[in-house]
Structure 1
Amino acid sequence: MLFLCYLIIATMSFWYLLILNKHFRKIKVVTTEPSKEAKFYQQAPGPLPWPILGNLHLLASQKPTAELFTDLSKKFGNIYSLTLGATKCIVINNLELIKEVLNQNGKFFGGRPNFMRYHQLFGGDRNNSLALCDWSILQKKRRNLARRHCSPRDTSPYFSKMSNVGCSETKILIEKLKESNNNSKHIPIKSFVQRACANMFFQYMCSVRFEYNDYDFCEVVDFFDEIFWEINQGYAVDFLPWLALFYKNHMSKLIHWSSTIRRFILNRIINKRNELNSSQPQEDFTDALLNSLTEDKNVSRDTIMFMLEDFIGGHSAVGNLVMLTLIYLVKHPNVANKIQLEADSVSGKEQRIISFYDIDSMPFTMATILEVLRCSSSPIVPHVATEDTVICGYGVAKDTIVFINNHNLNHNKFYWKKPNCFQPERFLEYSIEKTDMNPNEVKKTKSQFWQIKKNMPYFLPFSIGKRTCIGQNLVRGFGFILVANILRQFNVYYENVNNIEINMGCIALPAKPIPIVLVKRNKNI
């Protein structure tokens, strides 16, 4: 027994020495310029790691990870090291360094973490995913293929299609909510919103929509919501792979979710389409994907299926953003009232559905959505160094995980007045460019000339650089349509507003019913 104790102590000591050596060693960086020699750089400072666990014990705090990262920056600076398990990490905490990592040195940080969970979600290989794969030529091709569909200009037919799809599905959603509201005070609002969002993406990308009582469709929407929550969480097994045995059931659940989604997309969409000839017109994103099969030998049918799954899964981000916005509006009814005033003014006597083209006429509504994004500080997916490099004079070894602390950026007093307060007005600026009125007349009609601020380089909800979220226009546009039209028809309440807790470091909400109550507005609209 005594020998066993000595053996355990010796093993732990050996592990600790290895970690300390890795923690304090200098990084040798080989320059690409032949005239310059390789240099050694000290690693960024950080807390001393424990044996085996590294600094994982710090993440066991009750604080959200983003807030913990901000607290550590006050002690170790705007760039510091963490050792999670045996994995070397750095945390970036200010705008200048974020730009240095994602813009100036983006080519060195195009990788993604090699977490076991990521592989399980995408058929055993995370490189099947656009968001979780390492940067590659294939990744660049996939993004170029998707860009015209997912980030259309407001003058393009794709933008018009997005607006029409969003409006038609929102109209159906409102009717469903009214119908359920008549039958019961408590309705599964999140389920309805997520189904509406899923149909928006399916209609826009695949020209197909599903009924809200379609069992397979509802199951897939629920699984997408579970996966969105899953990706935004962290687990010990991500950094201690030898714990996989204890996560066997969890991994099986991930495989079940993803395989069910894949089977649905294959059976209900892809198998019902014929491969297009390049001369045939492309009606939607699915047509463009199928057409790429004949144009690029590196694109397989599996590539198409995973791309479609990835982009359609983006609807979960929209649904969670809408639900999070409704929660904030419950806590801030004065903000909800202002949105309703804008919505009433825009929809007019004809009481039409509010569309994409009304965004400029409802700046306060869009400002509210942006403020929700700022407050939630949804974490940017971690990057990984693909080779030894240097950031801010510190050496960064290949395979180091880079965490971008968006929370510190979005709650920094240097950029935001009263950053802990919910104030959509911070995203608005006053403009008189649209009028020839004299100053006295402008003052009388001041509210007509508010617009979203254009120059806010310190606000990065969708990241920056070559891995910027390609679907951000879909998220903002569909999110705007849903929030504006729901508030035009309903007041939102929560039975016990004092019990509402909001995670300030994540846009994802648990995949469970949220007890928000919708009450039809007294105004006949």
Structure 2
Amino acid sequence: MSLVGSQGILSATEILIVAAVFCLVCLLIQSFRQHVPKGLKRPPGPRGYPILGNVLELRKDPHLVLTKLSQKYGDVMEIRIGTRPVLVLSGLDTIKQALVKQGEDFMGRPDLHSFRHVTDGQSLAFSPDSGEVWKARRKLAQNALKTFSIVPSPTSSSTCLLEEHASKEADYLVTKFLQVMEEEKSFDPYRYLVVSVANVICAMCFGRRYDHNDQELLSIVNVGEQFGDVAANGNPADFIPVLQYLPSRSMNLFKDFNKRFIRFQQNIVKEHYETFDKVRACKTLTAPGLSSHSLPFCFDTITTALSWSLMYLVTYPDIQKRIQEELDQTIGRERTPRLSDRGTLPYTEAFILEVFRHSSFLPFTIPHSTTRDTVLNGYYVPKDRCVFINQWQVNHDEKLWKDPLVFNPERFLNAEGTEVNKVEGEKILVFGLGKRRCIGEHIARWQVFLFLSTLLQRLEFSVRGGKKVDMTPLYGLSMKHKRCEHFQIKLRFPMKSLK
């Protein structure tokens, strides 16, 4: 075997020697870059293959692989994806130490290839920027979202604008489910959940609601899963540069989705300027990078939480019945659930917490990076080190939870079952911690509560006889389950106008 080059013929042996030398040079360069100061130590971790690192081990279910590796190497562990070192953090105490107590050190974002395509690299959530401008933009976004959670509705008895929009959309969803059930006898609830959740966000951001058959909105929500697939931790193209230049269908879809969403946002903003004089209220939420990062990720997160909730409800009908009994006793059937009811529905709240914990549908946070050289648990961590936060491991840690693989909402209740144990609830990691904690967390939690309580107050969920739901999670930035088209519903009491 030989190859003809410009200087003659190269034998296979010579090619192998050149390749080996190249690998050794790469490893030597990496070792020089990772000089560890005296008295400190490098984080332990598994040895990977030259060039590839540990990428082959992470091809399937990285959250499970890294959880198993953490049992061997500890809560501070280093792996390699390609030639790039990545710090993996597990254990609630270690993650709190990094993201809260040493928050300034770990608040960065890595400059990953896929992240550059989110809002043209200006996303509040995915951009590597963490300086003063980023902090000002984040504060602006937090204030805008807070407005919707405290400003009372001028047109209804709802306590705030969020409650008004979510309650109206939940009412519509009940009607839509009944209509589809009558026509098709069974259905997939996900396709209707995602539009309803997106409608709440659009109503808040743009003052506009879309029909469930609106092609403009469907073109966004129906391909939103591709966003999570590419942006998930461990995407090889983010760590092995040569892959960025190879054809990739998923990456092309990801780029197309982001371009499509920017156009979607820009068209709405333009419409506001043309038709609405008092546009200042809208401008707060359509500031550059805010809605573009918040909307796809936010409605995907809420939809995924609700969809998992329905899967658990049909899998555990006794739990569904107990929630409905609590709703009947506390709220009755004469009015709709409100945000103020959360504290009086402990079992419902415990169920939501257990869905968050057990499914861990956000297995990792968006990757962090270090903003300067630092030390964590005695290990040296250099500046610009990419950091994975394994939330799935925390939510299934046997040191924190009894029988972590068992779905049991009662683990969050006091002995009498009358109150939620807030200390236990705070152990769950879903929306991250510290300076990069998701700014839409409260809105997400409140929407899940309002949708779920409204649906369960009026409807009973089941699956067609002889069919079962598949609870196997599909890995991504947010983990989905396999779609189920066998859902059935039954009206719990005659429909009438509720207060």
Work out whether 1:381 is the aligned partner of 2:378. Answer: no
Match of 1:334 among 314, 318, 322: 318
How many percent of aligned residue pairs carry the same amino acid?
25
1:112 maps to what in 2?
A: 109
On the 8 A contact 1:28/1:40 being kept in 2, the answer is no
Tell which deviates more after alignment, 80-89 or 105-114. 105-114
Q: 1:6 aligns with which of 3, 10, 13?
A: 13
**Range with bigger deviation, 313-322 or 355-364:** 355-364
Report the CA distance shift for 1:100/1:504 in structure 2 as closer, same or farther (over 3 A): farther
Show the counterpart of 2:5: none
Question: Partners of 1:281 and 1:309 in 2: how far apart?
Answer: 18
1:288 to 284, 289, 309: 284
Match of 1:469 in 2: 438
Give the counterpart of 2:473 among 485, 503, 512: 503
Measured in 2, the distance between the counterparts of 1:512 and 1:78 equals 31
How many aligned residue pairs are there? 479
- Going from structure 1 to structure 2, the CA distance change for 1:165 and 1:428 (only over 3 Å counts) comes to same
Query: CA contact under 8 A between 2:460 and 2:490: conserved in structure 1?
Result: yes
Q: Which residue does the alignment assign to 2:156?
A: none
Equivalent in 131, 134, 137 of residue 139 of structure 1? 134
Distance in 2, Cα, partners of 1:154 & 1:269: 22
Q: Relative to 1, partners in 2 of residues 1:152 and 1:518: Cα closer, same or farther, differing over 3 Å?
A: farther
SS at match of 2:414: strand
- 1:119-134 matches, cutoff 5 A: 119-123=116-120, 125=121, 127-134=122-129
Contact 1:24 1:43 in 2 (8 A): no
Give me the whole-angstrom Cα distance separating, in 1, the residues matched to 2:394 and 2:124: 27
For residues 221 and 93 of structure 2, the distance between their equivalents in structure 1, rounded to whole angstroms, comes to 39
Does the 8 A contact of 2:44 with 2:77 survive in 1?
A: yes
| Residue 230 of structure 1: how far off its partner (Å) | 3.7
What CA deviation, in whole Å up to 9, does each residue of 1:256-294 have, x standing for no partner?
Answer: 2111111122112344226999xx795x4x23257xxxx
On the 8 A contact 1:237/1:244 being kept in 2, the answer is yes
Letter in 1 for 2:443: L
Find the counterpart in structure 1 of residue 346 from structure 2: 363
What CA distance in whole angstroms lies between the structure 2 residues aligned with 1:386 and 1:275?
Answer: 44
Q: Matched residues in 1 for 2:426 and 2:172: separation?
A: 37
Matches within 5 A, 1:252-263: 252-263=252-263
TM-score, normalised relative to structure 1: 0.83
Residue number in structure 2 paired with 1:443: none
Q: Which one of the candidate residues 385, 391, 395 is aligned to 1:406?
A: 391
Alpha carbons of 1:48 and 1:230: their partners in 2 closer, same or farther (altered >3 Å)? closer
Mark the CA change 1:195 to 1:276 in structure 2 (over 3 Å): closer, same or farther.
closer
Query: Using the alignment, how far apart are the partners of 1:426 and 1:506 within structure 2?
Result: 27
Amino acid at match of 2:428: F
Asked whether the equivalents of residues 98 and 404 of structure 1 are also in contact (C-alpha less than 8 Å), the reply is yes
Q: Structure 2 CA distance, aligned partners of 1:276 and 1:140?
A: 30
**Residues 338 and 366 from structure 1, CA distance in 2 versus in 1: closer, same or farther, beyond 3 angstroms?**
same
CA pair 25-274 structure 1, distance change in 2 beyond 3 A: same
CA displacement 1:158-201 (0-9 Å, x = unmatched):
86111111111111111111111111123342111111001101
Partners of 1:325 and 1:372 within 8 A in 2: yes
Unaligned runs of 5+ in 2: 3-9, 154-158
Instruction: Give secondary structure in 2 for the equivalent of 1:473.
Output: helix
* Conservation of the 8 A alpha-carbon contact between 1:321 and 1:507: no
| Partners of 1:233 and 1:374 in 2: CA distance | 19
- Where 2:487 maps in the other structure, the secondary structure is strand
Q: Kindly provide the CA deviation profile for residues 215-270 of structure 1, in whole angstroms up to 9, marking residues without a partner as x.
A: 11221222334323443364322211201233343332222211111112211234
Q: Could you tell me how far apart the structure 1 residues matched to 2:212 and 2:481 are?
A: 18
1:129-168 alignment, distance < 5 Å: 129-151=124-146, 156-157=151-152, 160-168=160-168
1:312 to 291, 295, 300: 295
Identify the residue that residue 67 of structure 1 maps to in structure 2.
64
Q: State the AA in 1 paired with 2:20.
A: S
> In structure 1, what is the Cα distance between the partners aligned to 2:224 and 2:326?
32
Q: Is the 8 A contact 2:152 2:161 kept in 1?
A: yes
Which residue type is aligned with residue 17 of structure 1? L
* 2:488 is aligned with 1:518: yes
Distance 2:352 2:200 in 1: 19
User: Could you give the per-residue CA deviations for residues 382-403 of structure 1, whole angstroms, max 9, x where no partner exists?
Assistant: 1112232221221112222111
Matches of 1:58 and 1:358, distance apart in 2: 46
Q: Deviations over 1:89-121 (max 9, x none)?
A: 111111222122112222222222322222223
Write the distance in 1 (CA, Å) between the matches of 2:285 and 2:489: 43
Map Cα deviations across residues 363-411 of structure 1 (whole Å, 9 max, x no partner).
Answer: 2112211111111222111111223222122111222211112122111
State the superposition RMSD in angstroms. Answer: 2.9
TM-score scaled by structure 2? 0.87
CA distance in 2, matches of 1:330, 1:8: 60
Q: What per-residue deviation string (whole Å, max 9, x for no partner) do you get for residues 308-333 of structure 1?
A: 22222211110111001111222222
The answer as to whether partners of 1:23 and 1:83 remain within 8 angstroms in 2 is no
1:403-439 Cα deviation digits (max 9, x unpaired): 1121221112221111110011112235xxxxxxxxx
Of 323, 331, 344 in structure 1, the residue corresponding to residue 328 of structure 2 is 344
